[in-house]
Amino acid sequence: MTQLSLIGVSKIFGNSTVVDNVSLTVEPGKVHVLLGENGAGKSTIIKMMSGIYQPDKGHIEIDGKEVKIPNVDAARKFGIAVIHQELNMVSQLSIMENLFLGHLPTKGGFLDRKTMRRKAEAALKLIGLDEDVSTPMSDLGVARQQMVEIAKALMQDASLLILDEPTAALTGKECRQLFQIMDRLKSKGVGMVFISHHLDEIARVGDVVSVLRDGKYIDTLPASSPESELVKLMVGRNIEDQYPRKASVLGKTLLEVRNLKSEGRINDVSFCVKAGEVVGLAGLVGAGRTEVLRAIFGADSYDSGTIVVDGQTLGKQSIASSIAAGLGLVPEDRRDQGLILEASVADNLGLATMIPTSKFGLVDRKGQKDHEEETAQKLRIRMAGIDQSAGSLSGGNQQKIVFGKWSMANVKVLLLDEPTRGVDVGARVEIYELINSITANGGAVLMASSDLPEVLGMSDRVLVMSNGSLSGEMPASEATQEKVMSLAVSHMDADGSANNEGEK
């Protein structure tokens, strides 16, 4: 089994030191949690462990011997494998073909599909995944795709597995299944590095936690340590209120949805959101929350219904008219739907305001730049500069950019789909304060989230969806997890699952 140690490693990009003299050891058969805010250096550290980056100072040791890991292939030979947050797969290919990407077995100069199938089936059995290996990856949900990635790593005889936010897109049941796999791997002596922003998972899966802040090593302590202690080490301060909702005086109706229907996805949904109000949209995976938000914004078509924003009736599937009416959407998938990764932070922040603020067809570059810099500073976006590419930032900082884009546009109604997925506890509070500022300024927020404590903690009123329908609503002051879950399963199919979205 593999013991990996970082000895005083640093990584420097330009004038910015993103990892500064960090030392830690990952032991066989143990889960070592890396904890820190977005931008703390976690991703850079795992990239050094896996051969994507090389340390500029310090060195890496494996089983007590100094080594160089110049590339991913070298890391694989040392038994190191990574399950990235953005999965490395080809969706059009089968499970079996994805498992053998880059190292296809041959026999007599021809592809040995019989060996592929036998080894693929054995790999899936090892992790308890019951799927036909001929199934296209595109037919699997995110959770099962992730399990295939783990199987792929184990097929390569990985003795040290790095899991980068593996639970970010998983349901509670899927998380429990993943943790059971991790328990089995630990018993076989596999060491693991685990990154997650869900503090309640740390004591369940971890043995020790190393805390990073601003690229520096802070401390290593038992995974059973109190969450309050971990948070203080992460952010350098106490966070007294995890959900700092500040109620606002309610005003006129800013968003009205009437009889919204889309065959197989949305069943006659009607509700309204008032100025100064945060309405939470709760429900299980497949309940139709995302579909409702995307239909309202004009990103997806719908069969019938009416959407009114501040008295203006919107046409179907017109994002431009939605933005013009004062709607904004923070999508579930920020990388593919919320950002232009190759563009700068400045350009991404200005996406929603570039055209409205132009004069005589010319972009007000100075005005835009000043506003972009002000917004980036207000949201504490950690970056080398406003011209840095959005794709090079951490997930939490990317999410802040998406929020900042709509903050600059002074939207009347902000639609939020999983607004804090993959965001650390410190940045979460900053995002919640941004939600508060929107409602304090007379705006409205409709927030869909699978994080039920977040819905209860940051909403004034809760709508519950089940299988494409609204199954109930209640003031947040009267809502409990038990009441919400009871409504969430009220329109389920006989087999206990929602049938409109499944695991797409």
* Domain, as residue range, for 404: 343-409
Structure-block tokens of residue 134 = 């001929």
Alpha helices in 9-141 (DSSP H): 42-49, 72-77, 95-99, 113-127
Residue 502 lies in a domain: no
Residue 332 lies in a domain: no
On whether both 477 and 347 belong to a single domain, the answer is no
Residue 161 lies in a domain: yes
61 and 7 Cβ atoms separated by less than 8 Å: yes
Residue 153 lies in a domain: yes
- What are the phi and psi torsion angles at 121 (to 5°)? -65, -40
Residue 335 lies in a domain: no
C-alpha dist (Å) from residue 203 to 176, 230, 364: 13, 11, 51
339 and 397 Cβ atoms separated by less than 8 Å: no
On whether both 142 and 284 belong to a single domain, the answer is no
On whether both 274 and 355 belong to a single domain, the answer is no
**DSSP code, position 315:** P
**Per-10-residue mean pLDDT for the chain, 504 residues long?**
93 89 96 88 93 96 96 91 78 91 82 91 84 90 79 82 82 80 90 90 95 93 92 76 88 96 94 97 88 94 95 87 91 80 86 58 64 78 85 80 81 92 77 90 94 92 95 94 87 45 35
Final residue of a domain: which of 382, 409, 436? 409
- What are the phi and psi torsion angles at 25 (to 5°)? -130, 130
Structure-block tokens of residue 161 = 């597995």
On whether both 320 and 377 belong to a single domain, the answer is no
Residue 504 lies in a domain: no
On whether both 9 and 129 belong to a single domain, the answer is yes
Residue 228 lies in a domain: yes
Q: Detail the DSSP E strand segments found in 99-155.
A: 106-107, 110-111
On whether both 227 and 352 belong to a single domain, the answer is no
Q: What pLDDT, on a 0 to 100 scale, did the predictor assign at position 495?
A: 41
24 and 217 Cβ atoms separated by less than 8 Å: yes
On whether both 109 and 184 belong to a single domain, the answer is yes
On whether both 390 and 418 belong to a single domain, the answer is no
Residue 333 lies in a domain: no
What is the greatest pairwise CA distance in the chain? 76
As for how many domains the chain has, the answer is: 3
On whether both 202 and 256 belong to a single domain, the answer is no
Alpha carbons 289 and 266: distance in angstroms, whole number: 9
On whether both 285 and 386 belong to a single domain, the answer is no
Q: What pLDDT, on a 0 to 100 scale, did the predictor assign at position 5?
A: 96
Structure-block tokens of residue 465 = 């969806």
Final residue of a domain: which of 191, 215, 237? 237
On whether both 285 and 402 belong to a single domain, the answer is no
In DSSP notation, 194-212 reads EE-S-GGGHHHH-SEEEEE
* CATH number of residue 257's parent domain: 3.40.50.300
Per-residue buried b or exposed e for 188-202, using 16+ beta carbons within 10 Å of the residue's own CB: eebbbbbbbbebebb
Alpha carbons 298 and 415: distance in angstroms, whole number: 12
Alpha carbons 322 and 312: distance in angstroms, whole number: 10
Final residue of a domain: which of 364, 385, 409? 409
Q: What pLDDT, on a 0 to 100 scale, did the predictor assign at position 317?
A: 78
In DSSP notation, 315-327 reads PTT-HHHHHHHTE
For residue 437, the surrounding DSSP H or E stretch is: helix 425-440
54 and 44 Cβ atoms separated by less than 8 Å: no
On whether both 312 and 438 belong to a single domain, the answer is yes
274 and 253 Cβ atoms separated by less than 8 Å: yes
